[in-house]
Amino acid sequence: MSRIGKLPVQIPAGVTVDIKDRCISAKGPLGTLSRELPPQITAAIEDNRIVLKCLDETRTTHAMHGLARSLVRNMVVGVHEGYKRSLEINGVGYKVEQKKEYLVFSLGYSHPIYYEVPEGLKATLEGANRINLVGADRQLLGSAAAKIRSFKRPEPYKGKGIKYLEEVVRRKEGKSGAR
């Protein structure tokens, strides 16, 4: 049995969870999210908690059990508290601006990079070198942050590029002088 999958998901006050067939949806102050459960997993609400159970005892079912529980928990926490991811831009002349629903990056290329913020996420800027992404959907938030980071990954010599705020870039020494 999956250790993560058998843990119930607590439903906080202000969040309503609805289960129809294999589709589970959560509605809270930050929006509504829904997801379809794998066919081997069933869900039920017991004592203001969501309990997920396996229909058979195979290895893949146990893997899906833990995955489904984590995805349901992410939905419930997302509509109640939300998720936040911050990125930092390092480099001389590197900056970001917000124009309507687009983020415009100047990253040393011959052209600016326009990135449309996905629906369901909110981007705020702190100065010209820090981006805060906020949203209820953890998967969408993570993929948007990864896409932004992919525009200019941090390089190991000077640390120039876009990195997550908590990320530590391992620096290399560079060339040593002639002997």
Tokens of 61: 């079912």
Average of pLDDT values for 67-73? Answer: 95
174 within a domain of the structure (yes/no): no
Whether the predicted pLDDT of 177 surpasses 80? no
CB 14 within 8 Å of CB 28: yes
Within this chain, do residues 70 and 91 fall inside the same structural domain, yes or no?
no
Strand ranges inside 11-140, DSSP E: 16-20, 23-28, 31-36, 41-46, 49-54, 83-90, 95-99, 102-106, 113-116, 121-126, 130-135
Whether the predicted pLDDT of 80 surpasses 60? yes
171 within a domain of the structure (yes/no): no
169 within a domain of the structure (yes/no): no
* Distance (Å, whole) CA 41 – CA 44: 10
Confidence (pLDDT) at 13: 93
Total domain count for the chain? 2
Within this chain, do residues 110 and 155 fall inside the same structural domain, yes or no?
yes
152 within a domain of the structure (yes/no): yes
Q: With a threshold of 0.85, does the pTM exceed it?
A: yes
CB 65 within 8 Å of CB 51: no
Confidence (pLDDT) at 176: 79
Confidence (pLDDT) at 94: 95
Within this chain, do residues 149 and 90 fall inside the same structural domain, yes or no?
yes
Of the candidate ranges 4-8, 69-73, 78-82, 144-148, the one whose mean pLDDT is the lowest? 4-8
Confidence (pLDDT) at 106: 95
Confidence (pLDDT) at 1: 53
Average of pLDDT values for 75-92? Answer: 96
Mean pLDDT of the chain: 93
Confidence (pLDDT) at 179: 61
Residue-range definition of the domain harbouring residue 62: 9-80
105 within a domain of the structure (yes/no): yes
End-to-end CA distance of the chain: 62
Within this chain, do residues 75 and 27 fall inside the same structural domain, yes or no?
yes
CATH of the domain at 104: 3.90.930.12
Last residue of a domain, one of 28, 55, 80: 80
Within this chain, do residues 105 and 88 fall inside the same structural domain, yes or no?
yes
What is the per-residue pLDDT across 3-55, written as a single tens digit (0 to 9) for each? 888 899 999 999 999 999 889 999 999 999 999 999 999 999 999 999 999 99
Average of pLDDT values for 106-119? Answer: 96
